Amino acid sequence: MNTLSFDSKRCERIRQQLDSYLSNELLVETASEVVRHLESCEACSRDLESRMRVRDVLQRAVANRPMPESMRANILRTLRDSQRRSLSRVAVKRWALGFAAAAVVLFGVFAAEWLNLRHGEQLIASILKLGVSDHVICAIQGHNYPEVANPPDEIREKLGARYAPLLQVVQQRLPGFELLEGHICSIPGSDRKYVHFITRGHGTILSVILTERNGAALPRDKLLLSADSDGLGIYQDHLSGMEIAGFESGQYFTFVVSDLNQKELLQLARGLAPALNDTLHTTARLLPSNATTKWAKLG
């Protein structure tokens, strides 16, 4: 570096590249050219040295800024907290999703149950309506009963062997009611027939009606039951101004219909149901073969 080769234009060009040279960003050829020039040019070499010294000073100054000891711990704590929050958010979201799913399922269950109940209520009403209709048409509007009770033997004759045993049940199980009439009715324009007992008591007329189920059935849902009597479910409704209670007795529907109050009628139905059911079963055992024939003949 003893030879001074001062070429101002060349030096200017080299110095323009000194920043990139210092940052090691020059291509190999260009860097070699700079090195060769620096070896022969003291002024440019001093310039580079000055720049390097400034860089060293800067590096030392910045390196002297110590990091607080708590810094690392603080960062770790922040990360852990953030992780906990993120996990709890996940948990909350999962709970929320779980609740939403449960709500949907519950809503579905309740909706299905509600629809089921509505359907059950409609079915009960449609079956009980038969009993109300029979009572109103035959007893109330048709007045098909005498003012003085028909003799029991006459009624037994009308009912036939299959249904005659029910006479005693009706007489015994409806306290305060007098049996006026018992017969088998048919519905004009329909094949359906029904056994009809007409009684009087408590200042009103009360009918006990039996009609074949023909495969139909009352709903089994306990929520729709009005009462239970020895395992027989009793259903009740208020239709066309009448109170009616109905239950299944073997292959029959039995209805107790009157304009008594709901509680009184239900009480009478509960008292009647088990004995009526037992008698029907007994009769069915004794007269198994010609029962339907008898029913048809009497109709």
Partner 1 sequence: MLFRPNVQVESFEAAALPHLTDLYRTASSLLRDRNEAEDLIQDTYLEAWKSFHRFELGTNCRAWLFKIMFHRLHHVRRRLVKASRVTTIDGPEGQDELAAEPVVPQEIRDEDVLNEFREIVLLADVEEFSYKEIAETLRIPVGTVMSRLSRGRKLLRQELAEVARSYGISPRTKQADAAETA
Name the residues that contact partner 1, by CB under 8 A: 19-20, 22-23, 25, 46, 49-51, 53-55, 57-59, 62-63, 65, 67-68, 71-72, 74-76, 78-80, 82-83, 86-87, 89-90, 93
Residue closer to partner 1 by CB (options 84, 297) is 84
Answer yes or no: are the C-beta atoms of 198 and 147 closer than 8 Å. no
Cβ 57 to partner 1 shortest distance, Å: 7
Q: How far apart are the two ends of the chain, measured CA to CA in Å?
A: 141
Specify the DSSP class assigned to residue 260. S
Q: Give the nearer residue to partner 1 in terms of CB position, either 74 or 240.
A: 74
Parallel, antiparallel, or unpaired for β 227-229 and 232-239? Answer: antiparallel
Nearer to partner 1, 54 or 161 (CB): 54
The distance of closest approach from Cβ of residue 51 to partner 1 in the complex, given in angstroms and rounded to an integer, is: 7
Q: Is 86 or 126 the residue whose CB approaches partner 1 more closely?
A: 86
Cα–Cα distance, 83 to 105 (Å, whole number): 32
Distances (CA, A) of 291 to 157, 183, 249: 15, 16, 15
Cβ 5 to partner 1, closest distance in Å?
17
List % helix, strand, coil for the chain (3-state, nearest 5). Answer: 60, 20, 20
* Closer Cβ to partner 1, 94 or 143, answer by number: 94
3-state secondary structure of 192: coil
Smallest gap from residue 71 Cβ to partner 1 (A): 6
- Provide, rounded to whole angstroms, the least separation between the CB of residue 54 and partner 1: 5
